[in-house]
Amino acid sequence: MYEENEIRRVEPRLRYADPPLVHRGPTSILAPNPGDSYDLSPVNQQPIFTTQSSQSGGRIGNPQILPVSGLDHLIGVPSVHFHQTFELNESLNSVASENRFTIRGPFNEALFVALESSKSSDRLLWGSSRQFDLHLLDKTHQESLLLERRHECAFVCCCCRSEQLFIIQPPGDVIGFIEEEFSLLSTELILRNSAAEALYRISIPKQYKFYMPKEHSFRVMSADGLTQKGTISRKWSTDTNLYTTNVYFTDPDLNVRLKSLYIGGAFLLEYMYFQSYLARC
């Protein structure tokens, strides 16, 4: 038998939870009769949220399996930010050392580290115009992306070399490449897929060919140059006291392979205009 405590009267606009039920009856357990029937349906069942595969491309905050490795770290990310890391002994060397970068997400979470691989002779002779391989490693120390910078002779002379950067997903899947094109009014970086189809373009005015302000923004445009698809900017960060290169995607749900083209373009701009350089045409 159950008894309830009397609920005191209060104003109708105030609501209180019912007082707890106190058991006053016997405590023995009775076995059910064979003929009795019981409702076994769940009571107050809560919905169960299942996880989604990381390939669903959902935004940050949707229920999904955390990415384990590779380009999955870029799923739903609206921006990435990277800055160069330094060591004290680098200032004592006469030859520039291989660069290292940390790539972070919009909440300052570390996504990748980028490690340069290049010849010391190229660093001495060509400075920031050198050829290199840039290896992007994720938090599991697996290589997620490879950026290969190569040069071709420009139309004037072989001393003035046009830029070319390949974006490769290990073990050897070429996502696309970036090449430099010249015109009378500007220089453009054309971002192409593996079939050499132009997807995006970044315009660089001629007056910035030999001198680029330390803080600058580049617009990533569609192939026809009519629609802005993203922004690559270089700004001083008060948090790290370093210049940071920022890549903003107009569509956070953009395919991660296309996002890797933006990242490749940002690194190419970093070496072309913001690194200390020698022997640049």
- Whether 199 shows a pLDDT value over 70: the answer reads yes
Beta-sheet pairing, 186-193 with 132-137: unpaired
More confident residue, 94 or 138: 138
Highest mean pLDDT among 3-12, 120-129, 268-277: 120-129
AA identity, residue 109: E
pLDDT greater than 80 at residue 64: no
Give the residue carrying structure tokens 């491309």.
57
**Between 125 and 1, the higher pLDDT residue:** 125
Residue with tokens 């593996």: 194
Report d(CA 233, CA 175) in Å as an integer: 23
C-alpha closest to that of 245 among 118, 135, 102: 102
Query: Is there a contact between 148 and 135 (Cβ–Cβ < 8 Å)?
Result: no
**Beta-bridge mates of residue 218:** 232
What integer pLDDT is reported at residue 62 of this predicted model?
54
Q: Look at 185 and 254; give whichever has higher pLDDT.
A: 254
pLDDT at 160: 56
pTM over 0.85: no
The whole-number pLDDT of residue 280 equals 44
pLDDT tens profile 242-277: 899 999 999 999 999 999 999 999 999 999 999 864
Residue-level pLDDT at 66: 56
Asked which of 45-49, 146-150, 173-177, 227-231 is least confident by mean pLDDT, the reply is 45-49
The pLDDT, as a whole number, for residue 216 is 93
Strands 186-193 and 173-182, bridge-based pairing: antiparallel
Check residue 61 and give its pLDDT.
54
Tens digit of each residue's pLDDT (9 = 90 or more) over 126-168 = 889 999 999 999 988 999 999 999 876 554 544 456 789 999 9
Given a cut of 90, is residue 211 above it in pLDDT? no
DSSP letters for the chain: -EE-PPPPP--TT---PPPPPEE-S--PPPPPPTT-----S-SSPPP-PPP--GGG-PPTTSS-PPP-SGGGGGTT-SEEEEEE---GGGGG-SSPPPPEEEEE-TTS-EEEEEEEE--HHHHHHHGGG--EEEEEE-TTS-EEEEEEEEEEE-SS-TTSEEEEEEEEETTTEEEEEEEEEE-SSEEEEEEEETT--EEEEEEEEGGGSS---SSEEEEEEETTSSSEEEEEEEEEETTTTEEEEEEEESSTTS-HHHHHHHHHHHHHHIIIIIS--SS--
Q: Are 133 and 146 in contact (CB under 8 A)?
A: yes
Mean pLDDT, to the nearest integer, of 217-237?
A: 95
pLDDT confidence band for 183 (50 / 70 / 90): confident
pLDDT for 134:
98
Out of 95-104, 157-166, 178-187, 196-205, pick the least confident: 157-166
pLDDT at 106 over 70: yes
Least confident interval from 61-65, 69-73, 257-261? 61-65
pLDDT the model gives residue 182: 84
Mean pLDDT calculated for residue range 75-80: 96
Which one is predicted more confidently, 106 or 97? 106
pLDDT band at 56 (very low <50, low <70, confident <90, very high): very low
Structural domains of the chain ordered from first start: 65-274 (3.20.90)
Q: Which residues pair with 164 in a beta bridge?
A: 150, 179
